[in-house]
Structure 1
Amino acid sequence: MAYPIAYQLYSSRNFPPLHAQFPVLKSFGYDAIEPWLPAYESDPALFRRQIDDAGLRCFGFHMPLKGLVAEPSRFIEIAQTLGATYMIPPFVPKEERLDTADYWKGIGEQLAQGAERAARHGLKVAWHNHDFEYVPLADGSRPIDHILGAGEQVLFEIDCGWITRAGADPAEELERYADRIVAIQTKDTAPRGVTADDGWVATGDGIIDWATLAPLFRKTRADHIVTEHDNPTDWRRFAQRSIDHIRSLGL
């Protein structure tokens, strides 16, 4: 069975209005959008209507970790309004990060506590990685392992592009956390040194061997795939090329 495919709206944040993109994404074959803050913040109900009008869904949305900790009720309500299952904190600002195991264990504990609250409402919490989670600490351990080590209720939206940029192997991570991965982001990257579009490319146009990774997707808990490009010159080309390549792999 084919995976539902969502489009991370951050990819086309520089081409407003966002809601005008929804029918285009639907015509390309997308099933859902994955929004980031502040795309949905001003009027979640209106945002939901715009998604519905285009025949799309919202499986999950990116939100601040601080929101999960300090404003859980607000973001749980947003999740319910959007019809989302997954609340996904994706980042810790560089100025806040500490290179210690205890710090990253603390991040995992915050996610676990948020997941417990979310579960009371039928919702789930998943972490989305960048590259810094794969940089070994002084003791040789990795932030990602401390984050996901906080408890099985902390799920994972794996970003294969950032893992590759960090010098880690997406195949190993797909296998290592197969029982925690609920969404797979097929971000692709150009060879090191390419500066166009910040070195990001459409899925299938970069250095990641998706044909090798695709069978590993089926061994995870993932129930959907997400395309993303951090800074495309042509978001339409990126969106169309990416979903076409994913479907060509039998996903």
Structure 2
Amino acid sequence: MTRMGIGLQMYTLRDVTAVDFEGTLRKVAALGYEGVEFAGYGGIEAERMRDLLQELGLQAIGSHIGLHLLEGNLENEIAYLKTIGAKYAICPWLPQEARDAEAWRGHLVKFEQYGKRFREEGIAFAYHNHEFEFEVELDGQVVFDALYERISPEYLQVEMDIGWVQYSGIDPVSYVKKYAGRLPLLHLKDFRSGEKGGQIDTVELGKGDLPLEAVIAAASESSVEWIIVEQDVCANPPLESVATSIEWLKQNYLSKFE
């Protein structure tokens, strides 16, 4: 089994970072996370963020960059990522009005353009899924698959959210294997309950229904670089939730490398 890095998507801690971004990063490092994936920077200048991450021994994995920022602030986003040493830029989500088949045809063109620009600067562009990419088809193919079939791996990589894959009725283990070699980033989350279209709970790792150990094993064999913990909504205090999740990873994954 190949040792993958353990990261945290900072969106999970958005309520805490809104109060104290730097202090929250210090707590994330103290918990044992090795890298962070951003979803905004809390107004911290790039040079200060770079120095803080270096002080804490945290790797800047990359950042979730909203569609509006890709369209209107691309060069500034590139500059920030380069300053903090991040390798990945990820489109994380699309608004409701931008999800029909016609809109997706436009996204395919734009995503390739963004991917080319990021590549020129040594950054890989990726897309992070939810469930709606499995609900729309382009020429008989679900958008999730069409996206990666029609755009070259040079310009678009996969950031797979296995929670939403399973929620969509697809076996997450098989989908990890399907995208082996093009899947550097894996969002590891756990869902409890969950018939498609019904109420679901995002919970700490090991407290839900996903076959996490099988997913991790498949990821390790599929050239995944980072397992990234993300919990969309935390019933418990968010820092407590991410502490619970990394303890599960220490016991069920990292212990294998001791």
Tell me whether the two structures share a fold, i.e. TM-score over 0.5.
Answer: yes
Alignment match, 2:131: 131
Does the CA-based 8 Å contact 2:98-2:104 persist in structure 1?
no
Alignment match, 1:118: 118
Instruction: Identify unmatched segments of 5+ residues in structure 1.
Output: none
AA in 1 matched with 2:125: V
Distance in 2 separating the partners of 1:116 and 1:132: 25
Distance in 2 separating the partners of 1:118 and 1:108: 15
Alignment match, 1:241: 244
Relative to structure 1, the CA distance from residue 51 to residue 238 in structure 2 (aligned partners, 3 Å threshold; closer, same or farther) is: same
**Aligned residues with identical type, % of pairs:** 24
Alignment match, 2:45: 43
Relative to structure 1, the CA distance from residue 137 to residue 67 in structure 2 (aligned partners, 3 Å threshold; closer, same or farther) is: same
Distance in 2 separating the partners of 1:173 and 1:105: 23
Q: 1:53 offset after TM fit, Å?
A: 2.8
Q: 1:120 offset after TM fit, Å?
A: 1.4
Alignment match, 1:175: 177
Does the CA-based 8 Å contact 1:134-1:168 persist in structure 2?
no
Distance in 2 separating the partners of 1:227 and 1:185: 6
Relative to structure 1, the CA distance from residue 6 to residue 79 in structure 2 (aligned partners, 3 Å threshold; closer, same or farther) is: same
Q: 1:186 offset after TM fit, Å?
A: 0.5
How many correspondences in the alignment? Answer: 245
Q: 1:43 offset after TM fit, Å?
A: 2.4
Distance in 2 separating the partners of 1:104 and 1:146: 10
TM (norm. structure 2) is 0.87
Alignment match, 1:106: 106
Does the CA-based 8 Å contact 1:105-1:147 persist in structure 2?
no
Q: 1:19-98 to 2 correspondence within 5 Å?
A: 19-37=22-40, 39-41=41-43, 43-98=45-100
Q: 1:64 offset after TM fit, Å?
A: 1.6
CA RMSD of aligned residues (A): 2.1
Alignment match, 2:160: 158
Q: Deviations over 1:45-74 (max 9, x none)?
A: 333333233221211111023333443221
Distance in 1 separating the partners of 2:139 and 2:116: 30
Alignment match, 2:12: 11
Relative to structure 1, the CA distance from residue 40 to residue 78 in structure 2 (aligned partners, 3 Å threshold; closer, same or farther) is: farther
Q: Deviations over 1:202-248 (max 9, x none)?
A: 11111001122222112223211100111213222221221222233
Instruction: Identify unmatched segments of 5+ residues in structure 2.
Output: none
Distance in 2 separating the partners of 1:88 and 1:137: 22
Does the CA-based 8 Å contact 2:89-2:126 persist in structure 1?
yes
Alignment match, 2:141: 141
Q: 1:106 offset after TM fit, Å?
A: 3.0
Q: Deviations over 1:187-208 (max 9, x none)?
A: 1111128xxx961101111100
Distance in 1 separating the partners of 2:188 and 2:14: 18
